[in-house]
Amino acid sequence: MKDTEIIEALISKLTVPGGRHLYGVLGGYPALEVFSVKLQEAKTTDGRRFRKPLSVNRGILEMIPDDEFKHLAENEAKRPEPTAGHVAKAFEIFLRSKLRGKGLVVLARLEMLFAYHLELNLLRTMAADDDRILLLLPGRRSGGRIIMFPEIEDGNYTLPPSLIAENHLWELK
């Protein structure tokens, strides 16, 4: 779909008052960057502009104190589980702080979630009623699956099929 078609479809979906509100846009990094700019130029039904995307990676790193992060990084190779646990907790704190009925939150740069193989259902459960989330996802559809980071040859990152409803997920062309 074209940028404008996706934005129009998203605006239409955002008029629904309740229910699940997790949305996603798939594309390469350059296409997602262009989409992000066009999205910020668009206005919602209440006349306000869409907010700038938030970097999930940066949000996670800001939630972990530097000395704690240094300790985790030093021990990650021999014990990756504590690091993944800290990243998961930091992500939850970050996400909760950005929602709280503030309308649509646009999230980008989610690489850490996939690198640490974190459970993504938190996104789906928290995106309800007045807490709405749009994910800008570097990926593409392939054979009924969503392949994340398709440029990585050894990577096998996929988006869980039940995470985002099919009619809430668009691919940039």
Place of tokens 């979630």: 113
Is the overall model pTM greater than 0.85, yes or no? yes
Q: What pLDDT is attached to residue 155? A: 65
What percentage of the chain carries pLDDT values higher than 70? 99
Residue 154 Cα distances to 110, 144, 148, 161, angstroms: 18, 20, 12, 21
- pLDDT tens string 36-52: 999 999 998 888 899 99
Q: What pLDDT is attached to residue 167? A: 93
Task: Report the C-alpha gap between 120 and 110 in whole angstroms.
Answer: 11
In sequence order, the β-bridge partners of residue 84 are none
| Higher per-residue pLDDT: 138 or 71 | 138
Average pLDDT of 76-102?
88
Rounded (5°) CA angle 169-128-98: 95
- pLDDT tens string 123-142: 999 998 889 999 999 999 98
Average pLDDT of 54-74?
89
Domain ranges of the chain: 3-9+17-171
